[in-house]
Amino acid sequence: MRIALGIEYDGSAFRGWQRQQPGVRSVQACLEAALTRVADETIEVTCAGRTDAGVHATAQVVHFDTGAVRPERAWLLGTNAELPADVRVLWRREMSDDFHARYSARARRYRYVILNRRVGSALEHHRVGWEYRPLVLEPMRSAARHLVGEHDFSSFRAAQCQANHAIRAVESLQVSQSGEYFFVDIVANAFLHHMVRNIVGVLLAIGRGEQAPDWPRELLERRDRTLAAATAPASGLYLVGVRYPDEYGLPELGRLPRFA
């Protein structure tokens, strides 16, 4: 039997999604340990998109195969009872064998949250990015339009990125503001390592007036990561949606983090 789960987690105290060596706290290891206890057999999960240390999720999707037969209540309440408080299973579905949490996905959506004020937040410092210099919304919006479409995002990938190529298709990239908070929402077929955080770093430089709104177009053409801005911190980044073909009947969007 193949089962899909929707997962929410606060990534602040994790070294990322992926299981690592013993003693290193990861979301995958915590989830697999909880599911193994519920199923009374070893469970290994596959996720829609691996998140880095400090990155959060409101709509991570995983799948696993099991011979254990458990009611939905056991998979939800039982697994959550075995999980730490910063990870929760939100829903569970039985899936056909052709479903794959990663390879069946058609698009992923991330939201980046920026607190823009002179003083950082004591309560939200693990959950938002912070910029103390004033940001201007319209140049950031104008700049974002250059990144929509299929491009070579070599200037926006981490040096340690292991993807075979840097071509990605961005469906939408929107920047909005509510009071002291700025939100960057991006949807793409797939993402390179640190791609969203590097895009946010570029938009921040433009919002501060350090670069012109057409700078992203130049960066795309140059294909050189060393020419772009610093990577935005992980604390403001959330995986908020994964889109699958309608036939699977899975929810596409999780809760959107808002602080205003």
Do 42 and 148 lie in one domain? The reply is: no
Q: What pLDDT sits at residue 188? A: 97
Q: What pLDDT sits at residue 72? A: 87
Q: Is 258 exposed, middle or buried (0-12, 13-18, 19+ CB in 10 A)?
A: exposed
Q: Kindly report the CA angle at 82 between 78 and 83, in degrees rounded to 5?
A: 115
Do 130 and 61 lie in one domain? The reply is: no
pLDDT band at 259 (very low <50, low <70, confident <90, very high): confident
Do 112 and 233 lie in one domain? The reply is: yes
pLDDT tens per residue across span 112-169: 999 999 999 999 999 999 999 999 999 999 999 999 999 999 999 998 888 889 999 9
Do 80 and 96 lie in one domain? The reply is: yes
Q: Kindly report the CA angle at 17 between 2 and 224, in degrees rounded to 5?
A: 120
- Say how many domains are in the chain: 2
**Strand ranges in the chain using DSSP code E only, listed in sequence order:** 2-9, 46-47, 56-65, 87-95, 107-116, 129-131, 149-152, 167-178, 181-188, 237-243
- For the chain, give the mean pLDDT: 95
Do 85 and 121 lie in one domain? The reply is: no
Which residue segment(s) compose the domain that 209 sits in? 107-240
pLDDT tens per residue across span 189-222: 999 999 999 999 999 999 999 999 999 999 999 9
pLDDT tens per residue across span 65-123: 999 999 888 899 999 999 999 999 999 999 999 999 999 999 999 999 999 999 999 99
In the predicted structure, residue 260 carries a pLDDT above the cut 90:
no
Task: Compute how many other C-beta atoms are within 10 angstroms of the C-beta atom of residue 216.
Answer: 25
Do 9 and 46 lie in one domain? The reply is: yes
Do 96 and 202 lie in one domain? The reply is: no
Do 173 and 119 lie in one domain? The reply is: yes
Q: Is residue 255 part of a domain?
A: no
In the predicted structure, residue 243 carries a pLDDT above the cut 80:
yes
Do 92 and 176 lie in one domain? The reply is: no
CATH number at residue 224: 3.30.70.660
Calpha distance 38→32 (Å, rounded): 10
User: So which residues are the catalytic ones?
Assistant: 52
The whole-model pTM stands at 0.95
Evaluate whether 19 touches 28 at the Cβ level (below 8 Å).
yes
pLDDT band at 255 (very low <50, low <70, confident <90, very high): confident
Output the six-digit token pair for 59: 């709509």
Do 149 and 182 lie in one domain? The reply is: yes
Q: Is residue 225 part of a domain?
A: yes
Q: Is 43 exposed, middle or buried (0-12, 13-18, 19+ CB in 10 A)?
A: buried
In the predicted structure, residue 23 carries a pLDDT above the cut 90:
no
Do 133 and 98 lie in one domain? The reply is: no
pLDDT band at 231 (very low <50, low <70, confident <90, very high): very high
Residue where a domain terminates, one of 84, 104, 124: 104
What is residue 154's DSSP assignment? Answer: G
